[in-house]
Amino acid sequence: MSTTYSKPTKRIRKEHIARLLVYLGVALFVAFCLAPFLWIVSTSLKAPSQLHTRPPELISWPPFFKNYIDIFRGRPFAQNIWNSVVVAGWATFLSLVVGSFAAYALARLQFKGRDLILSMVLAVSMFPGIAIVSPLYLSFSRLGLVNTNIALIFPYITFSMPLTIWTLTSFFRELPMELEEAAKVDGCTPVQAFRKVIIPLSAPGVFTCAILVFIFAWNEFLFARTFMNNAASYTVPVAMQLFEGVGDYTIPWGQIAAASVVVTLPLIILVLAFQRRIVAGLTAGAVKG
């Protein structure tokens, strides 16, 4: 310490180099995260002849926008996207309703069986989905629910319970207790206090949670692959896995890339718009332990 202090200019230069290295590292990291996806964007704008070059061209000219039209031809891809919107939308809404009831009770009320509920939620968070597909599949076929959105919405509500309950419980806990007390003094019942005081105040938390559940449901594959077996019922991940050429046996990489970009767009928009909240929601649980 004392030796560097006697040579201030050298020390400053050393600090400059260190800063430069840090930012270089960060730039590399950002490139690492984005490069594969940018490569897919570039691939989505290539015609088959532009794809089959060795080495590949970074960006091909002229851009081949036809991929973005062709993905909707000869296959129910638009329907698949709509299915995902409906399933993920309902799953998110119902998960928040069910989850916010439970989270409110866990955060604010004293009742028997709290610990049992918390261990159930923990167990669900660790549960491998594959362990229950066989009986679920048999029950859904017996009930005629295969190829219906209900077959996905229920599992999605369940598997998002840990996320919803943990996030919302911590948000509810942070709200000051006096608010409910005041509401009760004003003659509100506990239910009214919950509806009129807690719900509006916890809107930011609920919203963050909604984004996370929506992304989870939009991306889920195992149940969707198992419970949906006709092309019109597929959700996006299943349609993407089975995406192939129409009347053609070669793999249409340009179209697959275009389809990838289209289905990723909603996610990118969510991420760009709400990155701060998403990060806060994701890290809250892990840091508190």
Partner 1 sequence: MGAQVAGSATKGRQGLSESQLGRALVTPAVLVMCAVVFFPILATFWLSLHEYNLKYPYLGQPFVGLRNYIELLSDSRFLNSVKITTLFTVSSVAVELVLGMAIALLLNRTFKGRGIVRTAVLVPWALTTVVMARMWAWIFNSEYGVFNAILHRFGIIDQYIPWVADTNFALWAAVGADIWKTTPFMALLLLAGLQIIPRELYEASMVDGAGGWKRFWSITVPILKPTILVSLLFRTLDAARVFDLLFVLTGGGPGFATESLSIYTYRSLFVNLDFGYGSALAVATFLYVMLISFIYIKLLGARTER
CB of 42 to partner 1, least distance (A): 9
Among 10, 11, 15, 37, binds partner 1 (CB under 8 A): 37
DSSP string spanning 158-198? HHHHHHHHHHHHHHHHHS-THHHHHHHHTT--HHHHIIIII
Q: Which residue lies nearer to partner 1 by CB, 39 or 207?
A: 39
State yes or no: residue 146 binds partner 1 (CB under 8 A): no
Q: Which residue lies nearer to partner 1 by CB, 29 or 82?
A: 29
Contacts (CB under 8 A) with partner 1, residues 183-222 = 189-192, 215, 218-219, 221-222
Among 12, 20, 26, 265, binds partner 1 (CB under 8 A): 26
CB 63 within 8 A of CB 162: no
Q: Which residue lies nearer to partner 1 by CB, 11 or 52?
A: 52
Residue type, 256: I
195, 214, 201: which is closest to 173 by C-alpha?
Answer: 201
Contacts (CB under 8 A) with partner 1, residues 42-81 = 43, 51-56
Among 8, 115, 131, 250, binds partner 1 (CB under 8 A): 131
End-to-end CA gap in the chain: 37
CB of 14 to partner 1, least distance (A): 13
CB of 18 to partner 1, least distance (A): 9
CB of 246 to partner 1, least distance (A): 17
State yes or no: residue 32 binds partner 1 (CB under 8 A): yes
CB 44 within 8 A of CB 260: yes
State yes or no: residue 286 binds partner 1 (CB under 8 A): yes
CB of 219 to partner 1, least distance (A): 4
State yes or no: residue 260 binds partner 1 (CB under 8 A): yes
Name the one range near partner 1 by CB under 8 A: 75-83, 118-126, 142-150, 172-180: 118-126
State yes or no: residue 177 binds partner 1 (CB under 8 A): no
For 23-58, b/e burial (b = at least 16 CB within 10 A) is: eeeeeeeeeeeeeeeeebebbbbbeeebbeeeeeee
CA distances from 280 to 41, 103, 213 (A): 29, 18, 15
Residue type, 210: A
What backbone phi and psi angles, to 5 degrees, belong to 52? Answer: -95, 60
Cβ–Cβ contacts within 10 Å for residue 75, how many?
21
Among 10, 17, 20, 25, binds partner 1 (CB under 8 A): 25
CB of 108 to partner 1, least distance (A): 9
Contacts (CB under 8 A) with partner 1, residues 77-96 = none
DSSP string spanning 238-252? HHHHT---TT--S--
CB of 144 to partner 1, least distance (A): 17
CB of 141 to partner 1, least distance (A): 10
Among 79, 147, 158, 170, binds partner 1 (CB under 8 A): 158
Among 154, 175, 201, 231, binds partner 1 (CB under 8 A): 154
Provide the 3-class DSSP secondary structure of residue 262.
helix
Give the separation between CA 50 and CA 56, rounded to whole angstroms: 8
State the residue for tokens 């970009």.
261
